[in-house]
Amino acid sequence: MELYFLRHGIAVEHTVDYHDAERPLTPKGQRRTTQVARRLQRLDLRFDGIWTSPLLRARQTANILAAMNLGDRPHFLPALAPGGSFTEGLDLLKTIQPQNAAAKIMFVGHQPDLGIWAETLIWGEAKENLILKKAGLIGIQLGQLSRPQPDHQLFLLTSPKWLL
C-alpha cells in the first residue's frame, strides 16, 4: 500500500480579509499544483482515494487532483487540518488496508503536520526534519498496519522544483 502526502499549493497570505481556513490558492499556486497533478498523470498514477484537510487551500489542491482524473471526488478528513490527530489518520488507513493491500492513498494537508506524520510512521518519532514545500510530495510504502511494529519506508520526498 502506498501513502502519498501532498502539501497544498501557494495560498494568499493570512490577512483580515481571509480567515486562515478560507485562504484560497493564488493563481501561481493553482498553476503549480496543476503542473504537479499533470506530472502525476504522466506517471500513470491514480489514487484509490483522496482525503483532504477541510481548509480551503487544501480542498482546492485536492480538487485539482480529482479534476486531472487522479482519483474520485476528495473526501474530507478533519484530522488533516493543522494540529489534527495522527491516530485518526492511521485508523482510516487501517480500515483500507485489509480491503485493498495495494491501494494508493492520497492525503492533502499542511506543514508541519504532514512531515510529522511521515516521520512518525517511518521512525516512530518526529523531529520536524523533513522539508516539504508547497505542492511538494511525500511517498511512503506502508507495511502491515495490523502488526505491533509495522515497517514503513520512505521512497519519495520532493518539491515542484525537482518534480517538474
- Residues 120-159 within binding reach of a second copy (CB under 8 A): 122-123, 125, 127, 129-131, 141, 151-159
Q: What does the radius of gyration of the chain's CA atoms come to, in whole angstroms?
A: 15
Q: According to CB under 8 A, which residues from 7 to 66 bind a second copy?
A: 43
Contact status: 90 vs a second copy (CB under 8 A): no
Strands 49-52 and 104-109: parallel
Q: Least Å distance between CB 119 and a second copy?
A: 8
Cell 506543514 identifies what position? Answer: 111
Judged by CB, which is closer to a second copy: 41, or 63?
Answer: 41
Instruction: Please name which of 102, 101, 114, 36 lies closest in space to residue 70, comparing C-alpha atoms.
Output: 36
* Nearest one of 19, 31, 39 to 61, comparing CA atoms: 31
Between 10 and 118, name the residue whose CB sits nearer to a second copy.
Answer: 118
- Give the shortest CB-116-to-a second copy separation in angstroms: 13
Q: b/e per residue, 126-138, with b = 16+ CB within 10 A? A: beeebebbbbbbb
* Residues at the contact surface with a second copy, assessed by CB under 8 A: 43, 119, 122-123, 125, 127, 129-131, 141, 151-159, 161-163
